[in-house]
Amino acid sequence: MATHESHKKRSGLMDWLTTVDHKKIGILYLLAGGFFFLIGGLEAVLMRIQLMEPDSKIFTGELYNQLLTMHGTTMIFLAAMPIIFGFMNAIVPLQLGARDVAFPYVNAVGFWLFFFGGVLLNLSWFLGGAPEAGWTAYAPLSTVAEDTGVDFYVLGLQIAGAGTLAGGINFLVTIINMRAPGMTFMRMPLFTWASFVTSGLILFAFPALTVGFFLLMFERVFDANFFNPDMGGNILIWEHIFWIFGHPEVYILILPAFGIISEVISTFSNKRLFGYSAMVFATVLIGFLGFMVWVHHMFTVGLGPVANSIFAVATMAIAIPTGVKIFNWIFTMWGGQIRFSTAMLFAVGFVPTFVMGGVTGVMLSVPAADYQYHDSYFVVAHFHYVIVGGLILGLFSGLYYWYPRMFNRVLNETLGKWNFWLFFIGFHLTFFPQHWLGLMGMPRRVYTYMSGQDLDGANFVSTIGAILMGAGTIVLLINIIISASSKYATTKDPWDGRTLEWAMPVPTPEYNFAQTPLVRGLDALYVEKTAGNGEMTPAEPVGEIHMPNGSILPFILSLGMFISGFGFIYSNWYVAGAGLGLVLITMFLRSIIDDHGYHIHKEEVEADIKGGRA
Amino acid sequence: MNAGERLTDANFPAHPEKATLEGKNKFLGFWLFLGGETVLFATLFGTYLGLRNMHLEGPSGAELFSLPLVFLATMLLLTSSLTSVYAVLSLKQNKVRSLQGWFLVTLLLGLGFLGLEIYEFIHYVHEGHTFTSSAFGSAFYTLVGFHGAHVLFGILWITTLLARNWNRGITLSNAPKYYLFALYWHFVDVVWVFIFTVVYLMGKVG
């Protein structure tokens, strides 16, 4: 077999800019997503400071609108999804027993598109003001806004969204085509299942958003008339398109958290997951129903009682598979040998918190009642209970759980527990009072309220809670900094794990598995542990391993999109054309340069195995 | 065997486009991508259907559309789909010259279609039906223009693919690429059939 000599070892910054290794891309996603999480969190704390006292005048008017728009947009698109993608990249191929993802190059393109899209959006703060039409960018708020904020929103998210779609397809193909021998669908770990369904949702939800952004961009940049009633347009088209994407989006966010919780609870209860096949079925069913319910965001629009009722019933139906999951997590813990590590604390804290968010979700799904709750703080409380109390607690849990695998170090457990309690108590202090604020009539998206209306106390408590959540996050940062200065952990399996990602040495070799493992049951590693083997049985002899070459092209391609984004925002067609030209040149180079990757020789792999490095 | 090596009749697999893992991945990934594209066009169709009668003072679809011209464009595109089928049949028989010939015909027919569409758009603008004249105008040019952009991208794709592989024969590396282009081209064609029905036929009969 011919060995390709094109392989260049890169180091330092160039290694990170050109990497196509899914483990490194996972770290990049986590770092970039974590950075945007801090920015989005800062925006939230600033809003809560404004709302701490009645009639406060710190961040008012347009600035407040920018803060709330950027908080929502950043947290959903630039923090939550990238962090999920970080875990998917770092863990899914390992859980499958795969050497790589299906399209390593496309994977890198996906990351850099997200990154440059996020940077473009946030540059709006410095270039004439951030978008101020809310994260939903409802027409006509978004179409008539005079400054360039909404243009940054449209172009930045369009670029980032293209990256997300690429990532979704990549994971679908990876999971379908690249499972190790014996890894049947019904033996896949729940996190991989959740990633699979999430990727499917991305595939069918994001193109709708792509079209929505194109329409809004054409409306603003080329004077189209989709949403302008004077010219025959209809603003409801934007709302429908946005929520046809937007509702599945919340399941894109929450399903991976469900997956993480399933892994963590099973591992730290030292039991296999209760009702595994019911969990898989519930995940798929939630994914399916997620597409059927977008109109519950539009009950007060006036689509009529028939449409409202159908979508109300479909919405309520989601509570059933979700309830199945909740009970299965509880039954997994029942009778288990529970170890309350930080990861497990976050997972256990998740369960009742998410249930509370789910209950208010069912309350909101009654159209008649929704007329009362609509656009009040009750809605704010509901979705933060689901997204923060569900997704973010899940992500924290996953971070503490997988940190040893991703960064070869264990986070400090004492600081971790401080992080959990500060964040958990802060969270409930922030959002629980908001249910009452909403029922008392406090509208969302409004920067002030008057004193003497019984809104003061709850708002004050809410702000204190937000500051506690911030403090919890700072403890996490300290923990990460301390761990970064410590040595590599020597243990490859710190939690007595059950799934394949714990079967490799630390640090994970670039080719993951020296020999593709043979999977002989659910919780593949645990099966081998109980059989007395302690490690996976290989499914193939030691041989040459084929690896993809790194490439700078994904970075340049995304840079081209970034440049053309500026061109469209400022209606400078030369810049827009130059950016798109750069994209086409990159695609052209990618297609004419033959790149078949390189091979790691059998002797090297054997040496790694002998030295305990593979 | 090296994926870039020219295949001979002796070692030619039954499905060269998915004989390697890379090929299998591309095959599946591209089908999924087309699933996403279906949502993209469905959203555009939905927008068009919501706005197609909002032509205000400007000419309506019934006044604008010329069925003979659109029919000719349709025939060009449908025929180009047929020739790409012949190209894929040649691919599976390891006949590289015949593959190149059929794809060249596909390319020329695609260019003919694109030329007719450009002519059609210029004609409509002269009739007062522009992108900004009404919601109907915006929706029409966006839907049909997205399809046209897909045709243009396909033309650039097959041109690059043919030029790059002109002297290479069929390999396990380029067979999936040819095959995927053909899939893409059929998809673009199917979308056109819907545009022909929803935009032009429904536009004519109301």
- Residue count of chain B: 206
Chain A stretch 428-447, residues whose beta carbon is closer than 8 A to a beta carbon of chain B:
none
What percent of chain A clears pLDDT 90, i.e. is strictly above it?
Answer: 93
Query: What is the model's pLDDT at position A592?
Result: 87
Contacts A165 to B, Cβ<8 Å: 36
Candidates A218, A241, A592; nearest CB to B43: A241
Are A222 and B44 an interchain contact pair (Cβ–Cβ within 8 Å)? no
**Considering only CB atoms, which chain A residues are within 8 Å of B44?**
211
Cα distances (angstroms) measured from residue A456 to each of A278, A374, A467, A562: 46, 21, 17, 44
Confidence of residue A7 (pLDDT cuts 50, 70, 90): low
Q: Decide if B25 and A173 are in contact by the 8 Å CB cutoff.
A: yes
Q: Report yes or no: A176 at the B interface, CB cutoff 8 Å.
A: yes
Tell me the per-residue pLDDT of A154-190, one tens digit each, with 9 for 90 and over.
Answer: 999 999 999 999 999 999 999 999 999 999 999 999 9
Query: What is the reported pTM?
Result: 0.96
Which residues in chain B are contacts of A233 at CB distance < 8 A? 51, 54, 135, 138
pLDDT of residue A2 exceeding 60, the answer is no
Average pLDDT, integer, range A438-462? 95
CA distance to partner chain A, nearest, from residue B205 (Å) = 21
Q: Which two tokens stand for residue A232?
A: 């025959």
What radius of gyration, in Å, describes the C-alpha atoms of chain A? Answer: 24
Q: What is the mean pLDDT of residues A350-359?
A: 97
pLDDT for the residue A151: 96
pLDDT per residue as tens digits for the range B2-21: 777 888 888 899 999 999 99
* A545 φ/ψ angles, rounded to the nearest 5 degrees: -115, 130
Reading the block at residue B70, the tokens are 């659109």
Secondary structure letter of residue A411 according to DSSP: P
Sign of the C-alpha dihedral computed for residues A474, A480, A485 and A490 taken in this order: positive
CB contact under 8 A, A207 and B51: no
Q: What is the DSSP string of A149-168?
A: HHHHHHHHHHHHHHHHHHHH
Q: Any CB–CB contact under 8 A between A5 and chain B?
A: no
Report the percentage of chain A scoring pLDDT > 70.
99
Complex prediction ipTM? 0.95
Residues of A in contact with B161 (CB under 8 A): 591
Cβ neighbourhood burial of B10 (10 Å; 0-12, 13-18, 19+): exposed
The distance from CA A36 to its chain's CA centroid, rounded to whole angstroms, is 12
Tell me the HSE value of B148 on the side-chain side, using a 13 A CA sphere: 17
CA distance A381 to A436: 9
CB contacts < 8 A (A, B)? 117
Torsion angle, alpha carbons of B30, B36, B38, B42, to 10? -170
Taking the Cβ of residue A165 and every Cβ of chain B, the question of whether any pair is shorter than 8 Å is answered with yes
pLDDT of residue A194: 98
- Span of A3-12, A411-420, A456-465, B146-155 with lowest mean pLDDT: A3-12
Average pLDDT in the A1-14 region? 63
List, for chain B, all residue ranges whose pLDDT scores fall below the cut of 50.
Answer: none
SS3 A104: helix
Report the gap between the CA of B83 and the closest CA in chain A (Å): 24
A588 touches chain B (CB under 8 A): yes
**Residue B190, Cα to own-chain centre: how many angstroms?**
8
Q: Which residue did the predictor score with more confidence, A1 or A295? A: A295
What is the Cα–Cα distance from A278 to A328, expressed in whole angstroms?
8
Name the closest residue on chain A to residue B173, using Cα atoms: A596
For A226, the closest of B3, B33, B139 (CB atoms) is B139
Position A490 scores a pLDDT of 67
**Does residue A140 have a cis peptide bond before it, meaning omega lies within 30 degrees of 0?**
yes
Would you call A231 and B44 a contact, using CB atoms and an 8 Å cutoff? no
Please tell me the predicted confidence (pLDDT) of residue A5.
47
List Cβ<8 Å contacts ≥24 apart for B162-165: B162/B100, B162/B103, B162/B104, B162/B107, B164/A591, B164/A592
Q: Give the B-side interface with A, CB within 8 Å.
A: 2-4, 21, 24-25, 28-29, 32-33, 35-37, 39-40, 43-44, 46-47, 50-51, 54-56, 131-139, 142, 156, 160-161, 164, 173
Rounded to an integer, the average pLDDT of A584-589 is 94
* Mean pLDDT of all residues in A71-94: 97
Q: A-chain residues within 8 Å CB-CB of B2?
A: 1-2, 596
- Shortest CA gap B131–chain A (Å): 6
DSSP output for chain B: --TTSBP-STT--S-GGGSSHHHHHHHHHHHHHHHHHHHHHHHHHHHHHHHTT--TTSPPHHHH--HHHHHHHHHHHHHHHHHHHHHHHHHHTT-HHHHHHHHHHHHHHHHHHHHHHHHHHHHHHHTT--TTS-HHHHHHHHHHHHHHHHHHHHHHHHHHHHHHTTTT--BTTTHHHHHHHHHHHHHHHHHHHHHIIIIIIHHHH-
Q: What is the mean pLDDT of residues A67-88?
A: 97
∠ at Cα A395 (A72, A461), nearest 5°?
55
- Cα–Cα distance measured from residue A386 to residue A361, given in angstroms and rounded to the nearest whole number: 9
| Chain A residues with CB-CB distance to B160 below 8 A | 588, 591-592
Are B37 and A207 a contacting pair at CB < 8 A?
yes
pLDDT at residue A8, as a whole number: 63
Give the closest of B40, B54, B132 to A224, CB-based.
Answer: B132
Q: How is residue A206 written in tokens?
A: 């994001």
Task: Report the residue from B3, B134, B142 with minimal CB separation from A232.
Answer: B134
Distance CA A44, CA A32 (A): 18
Would the CB atoms of A226 and B35 count as touching at under 8 Å?
A: no
Cβ neighbours, 10 Å, residue A275: 17
Confidence class for position A4, pLDDT limits 50, 70, 90 = very low
User: Is the pLDDT reported for residue A469 higher than 50?
Assistant: yes
Sign of the alpha-carbon dihedral angle for A101, A106, A107, A110:
negative
Distance from CA of B134 to the nearest CA of A (A): 5
- Cβ within 8 Å, pair B142-A177: no
The CA distances from residue A506 to A403, A495, B202, in Å, are: 12, 14, 64
Please tell me the predicted confidence (pLDDT) of residue A292: 93
CB contact under 8 A, A232 and B2: no
> pLDDT for A494-517, tens place per residue?
999 999 999 999 899 999 999 999
Task: Say if CB A29 and CB A82 are below 8 A apart.
Answer: yes
Gap between the Cα atoms of B1 and A62, Å rounded = 64
Q: Looking at the partner chain, which of B36, B39, B138 has a beta carbon nearest the beta carbon of A224? A: B138
> Is the per-residue pLDDT at A137 higher than 60?
yes
Average pLDDT, chain A: 95
Nearest chain A Cα distance for residue B162, angstroms: 11
Asked if the peptide bond before residue A507 counts as cis, ω within 30 degrees of 0, the response is: yes
Distance of CA A288 to the CA centre of its chain: 19
Q: Any idea what DSSP says for residue A543?
A: -
